[in-house]
Amino acid sequence: MDKTQKILNYWYNLEFFSPFWPEKTKDTVYINNMNNRMPWIVKADPKYTYDVYLGKIKSQDLIMDMLDSIGEKDDAIEKDNSLSCICAFKLASDGTYIEESFSVSTFVWAVAKIIAEKNLRTDLSTVEIDKLNSEMNDILTSVGNKLEYKDLEKFYTIVMEKILLNLNNSVFCAVINKKFTKKENEKRKEKSKQSVQEDEEDDIDTNTDMLSSFYVSDIDMIRRKVQKGDKIVKYIEALNKPTIDRTEIDIDVSQMKKWLSPEKYPLGKWPSIYNPSLMQQIAINIGISDNEYPGGIFSINGPPGTGKTTLLKEIIASNIVERALLLSEYQEPDDAFLQCQFDSPENDYLKYYYRYLSR
3-state secondary structure 320-333: HHHHHHHHCCCCCH
- Identify whether 60 is part of a domain: yes
Q: What is residue 200's predicted lDDT score, i.e. its pLDDT?
A: 41
Look at residues 160, 195, 212 and tell me which one is the last residue of a structural domain: 212
- Identify whether 96 is part of a domain: yes
- Identify whether 292 is part of a domain: yes
Same-domain check for residues 118 and 194: yes
Instruction: Write down the H helix ranges in the chain.
Output: 2-14, 39-42, 59-69, 106-117, 126-143, 149-162, 182-189, 196-200, 216-225, 231-236, 253-259, 278-287, 308-327
Same-domain check for residues 183 and 254: no
Same-domain check for residues 200 and 268: no
Same-domain check for residues 36 and 165: yes
Q: What is residue 289's predicted lDDT score, i.e. its pLDDT?
A: 84
Nearest to 295 by CA among 346, 249, 226: 249
- Identify whether 311 is part of a domain: yes
Q: What is residue 293's predicted lDDT score, i.e. its pLDDT?
A: 64
Q: What is residue 172's predicted lDDT score, i.e. its pLDDT?
A: 87
Q: Do β-strands 83-84 and 171-180 pair in parallel, antiparallel, or remain unpaired?
A: unpaired
Write down the pTM of the prediction. Answer: 0.72
Same-domain check for residues 175 and 93: yes
- Identify whether 1 is part of a domain: no
Same-domain check for residues 87 and 164: yes
Query: How many domains does one find in the chain?
Result: 2
Same-domain check for residues 88 and 165: yes
CA distance 328 to 359: 12
Domain that holds residue 288: 248-356
Same-domain check for residues 62 and 139: yes
| Residue 127 neighbours by CB under 8 Å, 6+ apart | none
Same-domain check for residues 267 and 350: yes
Same-domain check for residues 198 and 263: no
Tens-binned pLDDT, residue by residue, of the chain (359 aa): 788 999 999 999 999 998 999 999 998 999 988 888 888 888 778 888 999 999 999 988 898 899 999 888 777 677 888 899 999 999 999 999 999 999 999 999 999 999 999 998 888 998 999 999 999 999 999 998 899 999 999 999 999 999 998 877 667 899 999 988 865 445 544 554 444 444 444 556 788 888 888 889 889 989 989 998 888 888 888 877 766 677 788 888 998 999 999 999 999 999 988 888 898 899 899 888 866 666 666 677 788 888 888 899 999 999 999 989 888 888 888 888 899 998 878 778 888 988 888 76
Same-domain check for residues 178 and 48: yes
